[in-house]
Amino acid sequence: MLRLGIDVGGTFIKAGVVDENYTILEKVSIPTGADQGFISVVNTIARTARLAAKKVGRPLEDFACIGFGIPGLINPKSGVVVLAPNLEGWKDVPFLTEIQKLLPVSVYAGNDANCAVVGETLAGAAKGCKDVVMLTLGTGVGGGVVCDGKLFTGGQGLGAELGHMVLSMDGNTCGCGMQGCIEAYCSVTAFVKQTKAAMAAYPKSLMHAYAKEAGEVDGRTAFECSKAGDLAAQTVVNTYCRYLANAIGSLVTIYRPETVLIGGGLSNQREYLMDKLNALLPKYTFASGSIGVPPVCRATLGNDAGTIGAAYLDIM
Amino acid sequence: MLRLGIDVGGTFIKAGVVDENYTILEKVSIPTGADQGFISVVNTIARTARLAAKKVGRPLEDFACIGFGIPGLINPKSGVVVLAPNLEGWKDVPFLTEIQKLLPVSVYAGNDANCAVVGETLAGAAKGCKDVVMLTLGTGVGGGVVCDGKLFTGGQGLGAELGHMVLSMDGNTCGCGMQGCIEAYCSVTAFVKQTKAAMAAYPKSLMHAYAKEAGEVDGRTAFECSKAGDLAAQTVVNTYCRYLANAIGSLVTIYRPETVLIGGGLSNQREYLMDKLNALLPKYTFASGSIGVPPVCRATLGNDAGTIGAAYLDIM
């Protein structure tokens, strides 16, 4: 049977029709209108679902279920969204109850980073694995964990906020208001800050010319100049990799996954990034001499991971 | 039916006969002879089990099962002990296979800190809770987690080594060889080091007289002098509480337990310690303003937690 996976983003609501082989048959995207408030967005989500069904010429009743990836804290059992910073007014709202009123099949919801790890585990880089940790490096750091073949979300389904584990006590201030979170060191936002600080310290670094040509300093600046042999850029990249490997080592110490996946923009650095992380990981993982460490790999499905994962939340 | 819970320690093997109400009816303790090697210790363990059964006048066949708490890394499914630093030669040894040959009922094994959280959840401070995190503060920091009523041990059962999560990147060296582990800041060993450093810096601190009378600097020194109003001691205690609260906050962010239990010697500081931790926790927990934080409580069963938990490993 077909399923619908819907990514509820701050800008767009993206629906995908997913088949039994985890293939996305059709996609639909509608502006969220996040400023219109909760009930209005819920209506738009239902409309997106109907549109996606129409695109494959089937009534919604023919779908096995519809799953939603939510950019925030959601209790998957009650379906209450505790907080979704990019969606105005989504604070302690009964999302699943409200959306169920508008849709004729079973609905499920999960945090968007959790949907991504489900997608990658079912159909992507972690296919066949029962224990997986995934970090999505973007504006923030999203985290998802699969344990023994099931999505791990902790008590009330509100846990596994891996990006807000402490990495450096009393360290850099995080967007969440706490200090020293993994996100404050390993997000693309943090990496760009680290890049800019090095550029300020090294006026002759290649990074200046590179950023000028690109029009801005972004996640590529230091990586590309590092590959080109720029010493300041290499220091930025190596320091960042040390931060990230330390965070991953902590996660491996707790979860002992078969594989660690890296998603988000920086994962496009592929082997250049993964090789460094894999080389550093044993140093930052408990008992790595006795137990070894899992491989750190690039997530392969991109944004589709979240769509596929949302569609299959019911089995995880 | 009766059960046997056996704590395999580096110095003593302690067996307890546990009934359906989680009451320990009889206890037996035999020197481990840890230097005699794996097979010899396995034989001693079996002997301890038979002795405990004899003490209640029942054959081992009458017991529902026997569970073992192991001070090291153990895969609970395979029963292989990967490493147990205090037991000579226990490196990749098939513990459950060998002990099963000597005993007539089903056997189960788990890490000792995991047994403790099982005991406290079934019969102690977390009775009735489905999601629990417990830290045992001793020479090291032991960790145990119950998620949705089940013991959480991660992939291969080798995870949840909470004491070796990172707290301070590039920070103090831990006994495990890594840097910045929770254990390197929050163990009693670390706390005594922090106390001694403050004593060296403040020769007039009350801690000198207190330690002289007690015969040594231990986990009580700073706490008792802090209660007596000594400023240097108060700084030691408050700094330690900040470390520990930060570690607990990270664990709450991941596991979202209903309660966090503190066991080990320092938990004897009761409200004096717990009040400080509870006051600090919101600062170090993600989204505490929206979700709140669980209470930090003292574990109540002491060493019995491990015995009861080992006896009931099969249902967790």
SS3 readout for chain A: CCEEEEEECCCEEEEEEECCCCCEEEEEEEECCHHHCHHHHHHHHHHHHHHHHHHCCCCHHHCCCEEEEECCEEECCCCEEEECCCCCCCCCEEHHHHHHHHCCCCEEEEEHHHHHHHHHHHHCCCCCCCCEEEEEECCCEEEEEEECCEECCCHHHCCCCHHHCECECCCCECCCCCECECHHHHCHHHHHHHHHHHHHHCCCCHHHHHHHHHCCCCHHHHHHHHHCCCHHHHHHHHHHHHHHHHHHHHHHHHHCCCEEEEEEHHHHHHHHHHHHHHHHHHHHCCCHHHHCCCCEEECCCCCHHHHHHHHCHHHC
- Kindly state the tokens that stand for A214: 């690109």
**CA atoms of A13 and A68, how far apart (whole Å):** 10
Partner A contacted by B90 (CB < 8 A): no
Amino acid letter, A154? G
Instruction: Count CB neighbours of A88 within 10 A.
Output: 17
Residues A264-283 as b/e (b if ≥16 CB within 10 A, e otherwise) read bebbebeeebbebbbebbee
CB contact under 8 A, B250 and A83: no
Q: Does B210 touch chain A (CB under 8 A)?
A: no
- Cβ of residue A73 closer than 8 Å to a chain B Cβ: yes
H helix runs in B66-180, sequence order: 95-102, 112-123
| Inside any domain, residue B124 | no
Compare CB distances from B161 to A130, A155, A286 and report the shortest one's residue.
Answer: A286
Whether B223 is covered by a domain: the verdict is: yes
How far does B173 lie from chain A, in Å, by closest CA? 12
Report how far residue A41's alpha carbon sits from residue A78's, in angstroms, rounded to the nearest whole number: 19
**Coil/strand/helix, residue B120:** helix
**Does one domain contain both B22 and B46?**
yes
B99 with B142, same domain: the answer is no
Same domain, B155 and B108: no
Indicate whether B144 belongs to any domain.
yes
**Considering CB atoms only, which of B176, B286, B291 is closest to A178?**
B286
State the number of CA atoms in the 13 A half-sphere of A240 facing the CB: 30
pTM: 0.96
Contacts of B164 in chain A (CB under 8 A): 253, 286-287
| Beta partners for residue A108, in sequence order | A67
Tokens of A11: 């800008």
A189, A45: one domain: no
- Contact state of A82 with B176 under an 8 Å Cβ cutoff: no
Give the pLDDT of residue B297. 98
Which residues, 6 or more positions from B304, have their beta carbon under 8 angstroms from its beta carbon? B16, B24, B119
> What's the average pLDDT block by block, 10 residues per block, for chain A (316 residues)?
96 97 97 94 97 97 98 94 92 97 98 97 98 96 96 94 97 96 97 98 98 97 98 98 98 98 95 98 96 97 97 96
CATH number at residue B20: 3.30.420.40
The answer to whether A129 faces chain B, any CB pair under 8 Å, is: no
Spatial separation of the C-alpha atoms in residues A39 and A43, rounded to whole Å: 6
The number of folded domains in chain B is: 2
Token reading at A299: 């997530």
Q: Does A288 touch chain B (CB under 8 A)?
A: no
In eight-state DSSP terms, residue B229 is T
Contacts of A53 (CB under 8 A, 6+ apart): A4, A17, A59, A60, A62, A63
Residues A87 and A157 in one domain: no
Question: Which residues in chain B have Cβ-Cβ distances shorter than 8 Å to A243?
Answer: 169
Q: Does one domain contain both B56 and B190? A: no
| Domain match, B139 and B167 both | yes
Q: Could you read off the pLDDT of B152-162 as tens digits, one per residue?
A: 999 999 999 99
Q: Is B59 inside any structural domain? A: yes
Same domain, A87 and A144: no
Interface check A51 vs B, CB under 8 A: no
Domain assignment of residue B174, yes or no: yes
Is residue B98 within 8 Å of residue B292, measured between CB atoms? no
Question: What does the alpha-carbon distance between residue A243 and residue A239 come to, in Å, rounded to a whole number?
Answer: 6
Query: Is residue B244 within 8 Å of residue B237, measured between CB atoms?
Result: no
One domain for residues B210 and B277: yes
Beta carbons of A147 and B154 less than 8 Å apart: yes
| B190 and B102 inside one domain | no
* Calpha distance A25→A307 (Å, rounded): 11
Does B129 contact A at CB distance below 8 Å? no
Instruction: Please report whether residue B189 resides in a domain.
Output: yes
Cα A224 to Cα A222: distance, rounded to the nearest angstrom: 6
Residue A195 CA to its chain's centroid (Å): 22
pLDDT of residue B85: 86
Q: With contacts defined as CB-CB under 8 Å, which chain A residues touch B152?
A: 147
Return all residues near A116 (Cβ < 8 A) that are at least 6 apart.
A69, A134, A136, A142, A144, A263, A299, A301, A305, A306, A309
Q: Do B155 and A255 touch (CB under 8 A)?
A: yes
Check CB contact of A254 with chain B, cutoff 8 Å.
yes
Is the CB of A167 less than 8 angstroms away from the CB of B169? Answer: yes
Half-sphere exposure of A47 (CA within 13 A, CB side): 13
Confidence label for B164 from pLDDT (cuts 50, 70 and 90):
very high
> Is B24 an interface residue toward A (CB < 8 Å)?
no
Q: Does a structural domain hold residue B208?
A: yes
Identify any residues that bridge with A15 across adjacent strands, giving them in sequence order. A6, A28
Specify whether A88 is located in the same domain as A69.
yes
In terms of residue numbers, what domain contains A224? 128-298
Q: Whole-angstrom Cα distance, residue A152 to residue A169?
A: 25
Residues A174, A83 share a domain: no
**Given this model, what pLDDT does residue A85 score?**
86
Round to whole Å and give the CA distance between A199 and A207: 7
DSSP B93-118: EEHHHHHHHH-SS-EEEEEHHHHHHH
Q: What angle do CA A56, A62, A63 make, to 5 degrees?
A: 80
